[in-house]
Amino acid sequence: MKKISLGMLLIAVGGVLISGCLFQGDGANLDTQLRAIITEQNLSGDPSLGRELPNIEEPLPQLGMLLFYSKALSGTQDSACVTCHHPALGGGDGIPLSIGVGAPSPDLLGLGRTHPDGPQVPRNAPTTFNSALWDQFMFHDGRVESMGKTSGMNGNDGYGIRTPDRPWGYPDILAGDNLVVAQARFPVTSEEEMRGFDFGTGHGNMLEERNRLTRDTLEQIVGGYGAEKDTLTTNHWLEEFQKAFNSAADAETLITFDNIVLAIGEYERSQVFVNTPWKDYVGGNQDAINESAKRGALLFFTSSAAGGADCATCHSGDFFTNEKFHTLAIPQIGPGKESGTYGDDDWGRILETRKDKDKYAFRTPTLLNVEVTGPYGHDGAYATLESIVRHHLNPQAAIANYPFDQVDPSIRTINAKEYTNQALEQLLKNRQAGGNLTVKDINLSDEQVQDIVNFLQTLTDPCVKDRACLSPWIPDENDPNPDGMRLNAINQNGEGL
Ligand code: HEC
Ligand code: HEC
């Protein structure tokens, strides 16, 4: 006979009741509680609803794909956007800290990619998947920011977008129409990612001026005009730009830096992967996820006061992020981003806001497709979902157990442990101050942690694990290779990605 739990009785008697405590129950009980949460938190399961999104088969995203894969956009001609954002690597690069220019095997992506001096990029490459779904900030520290932050608009709400080219608080009139195109103006200006250390005709004193010179030089290289007329030995880009923009104009008119990043942005914005088992479940299919994942979901969406794990206070809504910044004290294993006593620490959001509470704060990541976007944290300090989840539940214990000595010495700053302890102090300070959200210490059983991990795995769109399904976003021999400089990615075994 089916046992009637106290929870079911209460729900039957008192209508929807979820705020008291978490009832362990059979499947039907779990479904009832989850349906109540879905209604209460107004979830549709689909964060792409109501948005205008490009399709990868359209001409502009097609051009963007060719540019995304071309090493001609790097000052050293050995790095491309795809170097750190390959669709078969979850839209990232699968390594803790990215390696851009100067890799001995430029086309080798993922594990096994090396640099003679260790990784030069201070942070983990976030996925480009679903980048059309951000409405407030790009980057771990939010240095590209929508001034309007209107939901559903990806920054395209008429208020403008602030970028590192402009002072704090001012929109950048060159930023373009959405957050993704605004972001795409910057990787080519980063010395470690794409620019290299001695590129271009002049350096300029101001960062903004230097960035402008870099972009001017690149548009001439791709366009085959001006001082860079003959830099590419093969150059058929004009045909591709004419097709994509449906125009017969000449290279100087069509192949501008603004048009280059517009196309790249539309390619990225076409990478929408939201058809998850969780979406199916929210849509009404009770069997779309298993019981363990349902228990995990219940913990995920329930506050700690009510016996849950509190995850959805920050990983909120259908995109699983509040797009705000929080200090979690993830071990600081990177080479650092020009902060701290020796310039080898990464203080995160405070570098933008100068507010103390933002020290070591980073943007809440989306959790869609998180199963394939590891390693985790702003510097890829954790290799597995279980370990990053456990860090949230007790940062102090996680840091005490973190194998700092085993981190590749070419990766970590020698001060990693000290900086991590400073981050922990900041977290404790933020907890005490109250007012802004912090992770709380939460006691869960091993089984409950596993339930949460199982729930996180229901946020994977099967397409991102299926090479054939991803193939529209990966050029092959049937696609044009306008400069002969396409990055044909291989893994460490020499197999094509
Ligand atoms: C060497 C590796 C590397 C290369 C090359 C590279 N990126 Fe990135 N990308 C990163 C890293 C690392 C970050 C995070 C940096 C930060 O937050 O400070 C990032 C951030 C981003 C983001 C922000 C995602 C988010 O969730 O906020 C987008 C979009 C992106 N890159 C697109 C591009 C494009 C387009 C190109 C080529 C023009 C490119 N990247 C080249 C490593 C790379
Ligand atoms: C106080 C806000 C907050 C809460 C509560 C919270 N998170 Fe996070 N989460 C973050 C932030 C911020 C990061 C990124 C931190 C960093 O990179 O330094 C993150 C990172 C993650 C990541 C790594 C994602 C990636 O792409 O690197 C996972 C997985 C994750 N959280 C799951 C959870 C789960 C599960 C819970 C509940 C147990 C939870 N989070 C609770 C803010 C929060």
Centroid of ligand 2 to alpha carbon of 387 (angstroms): 11
Q: Assess if residue 131 is contained within a domain.
A: yes
Q: Is 389 in the pocket of ligand 2 (CB under 6 A)?
A: yes
Of 226-230, 247-251, 332-336, the least confident: 332-336
- For the segment 400-404, the average pLDDT, to the nearest whole number, is 96
Instruction: Please name the residue whose Cα sits nearest to atom 14 of ligand 1.
Output: 125
Q: Assess if residue 50 is contained within a domain.
A: no
The answer to whether residues 254 and 367 belong to one domain is no
The answer to whether residues 186 and 74 belong to one domain is yes
Q: Is 452 in the pocket of ligand 2 (CB under 6 A)?
A: yes
The answer to whether residues 263 and 320 belong to one domain is no
Q: Is 358 in the pocket of ligand 1 (CB under 6 A)?
A: no
Centroid of ligand 1 to alpha carbon of 126 (angstroms): 7
The answer to whether residues 95 and 224 belong to one domain is yes
Ligand 2 atom nearest residue 360's Cα: 18
Q: Assess if residue 448 is contained within a domain.
A: no
Query: Of 271, 298, 323, which closes a domain?
Result: 271
Closest by CA position to 123, among listed 349, 280, 292, 312: 349
Q: Assess if residue 279 is contained within a domain.
A: no
Whichever domain contains 324, its CATH number is 1.10.760
Q: Assess if residue 239 is contained within a domain.
A: yes
Q: Tokens 């939201």 identify what position?
A: 274
CA–CA separation, 30 vs 24, rounded Å?
8
- SS in 3 state form for the chain? CCCCCHHHHHHHHHCCCCCCCCCCCCHHHHHHHHHHHHHHCCCCCCCCCCCCCCCCCCHHHHHHHHHHCEHHHCCCCCCCHHHCCEHHHCCECCCCCCCCCCCCCCCECCCCCCCCCCCCCCCCCCCCCCHHHCCCEECCCCCEEECCCCCCCCCCCCCCEECCCCCCCCCCCCCCCCHHHHHCCCHHHCHHHHHCCCCCCCCCCCHHHHHHHHHHHHHHHHHCCHHHCCCCCCCCHHHHHHHHHCCCCCHHHHCCHHHHHHHHHHHHHCCCCCCCHHHHHHCCCCCCCCHHHHHHHHHHHCCHHHCCCCHHHCCCCCCCCCCCEEECCCCCCCCCCCECCCCCECCECHHHHCCHHHCCEEECCCCCCHHHCCCECCCCCECCHHHHHHHHHCHHHHHHCCCHHHCCCCCCCCCHHHHHHHHHHHHHHHHHHCCCCCCCCCCCCHHHHHHHHHHHHHHCCHHHHCHHHHHHHCCCCCCCCCCCCECCCECCCCCEC
Mutation pick for ligand 2 pocket among 130, 311, 390 (CB with most ligand atoms within 8 Å): 311
CA–CA separation, 459 vs 274, rounded Å?
8
Q: Assess if residue 343 is contained within a domain.
A: yes
Mode of pairing for the β-strands spanning 144-146 and 161-162: antiparallel
The answer to whether residues 153 and 264 belong to one domain is yes
The answer to whether residues 111 and 254 belong to one domain is yes
What's the predicted TM-score (pTM) here?
0.94
Query: At residue 338, does pLDDT exceed 60?
Result: yes
The answer to whether residues 347 and 232 belong to one domain is no
Instruction: Starting from the CA of residue 127, give the closest ligand.
Output: 1
Q: How sure is the predictor about 200, in pLDDT bands with cuts at 50, 70 and 90? A: low
pLDDT tens digits, 263-316: 999 999 999 999 999 999 999 999 999 999 999 999 999 999 999 999 999 999
Query: Of 394, 417, 441, which closes a domain?
Result: 441
Q: How sure is the predictor about 9, in pLDDT bands with cuts at 50, 70 and 90? A: very low
Query: Of 441, 462, 484, which closes a domain?
Result: 441
Q: Is 482 in the pocket of ligand 2 (CB under 6 A)?
A: no
pLDDT of res. 123: 97
Centroid of ligand 2 to alpha carbon of 330 (angstroms): 10
Centroid of ligand 2 to alpha carbon of 364 (angstroms): 6
Chain-centre distance for alpha carbon 447: 28
Q: Assess if residue 93 is contained within a domain.
A: yes
Mean pLDDT score of the chain: 93
Instruction: Please name the residue whose Cα sits nearest to atom 36 of ligand 2.
Output: 311
Domain count, the chain: 2
The answer to whether residues 340 and 413 belong to one domain is yes
Q: Assess if residue 481 is contained within a domain.
A: no
The answer to whether residues 417 and 326 belong to one domain is yes
388: β partners: none
Whichever domain contains 180, its CATH number is 1.10.760.10
The answer to whether residues 106 and 185 belong to one domain is yes
- For the segment 442-459, the average pLDDT, to the nearest whole number, is 98
Query: At residue 17, does pLDDT exceed 50?
Result: no
The answer to whether residues 124 and 249 belong to one domain is yes
More confident residue, 120 or 27: 120
Question: Under a CB-based contact definition with an 8 Å cutoff, are residues 132 and 269 in contact?
Answer: yes
Q: Is 311 in the pocket of ligand 2 (CB under 6 A)?
A: yes
pLDDT of res. 267: 98
Query: At residue 253, does pLDDT exceed 50?
Result: yes
The answer to whether residues 139 and 203 belong to one domain is yes
pLDDT of res. 23: 53
Query: At residue 366, does pLDDT exceed 60?
Result: yes
Centroid of ligand 1 to alpha carbon of 331 (angstroms): 21
Whole domain around residue 83: which residue ranges? Answer: 59-271
pLDDT tens digits, 70-112: 999 999 999 999 999 999 999 999 999 999 999 999 999 999 9
pLDDT above 90 coverage of the chain, percent: 85
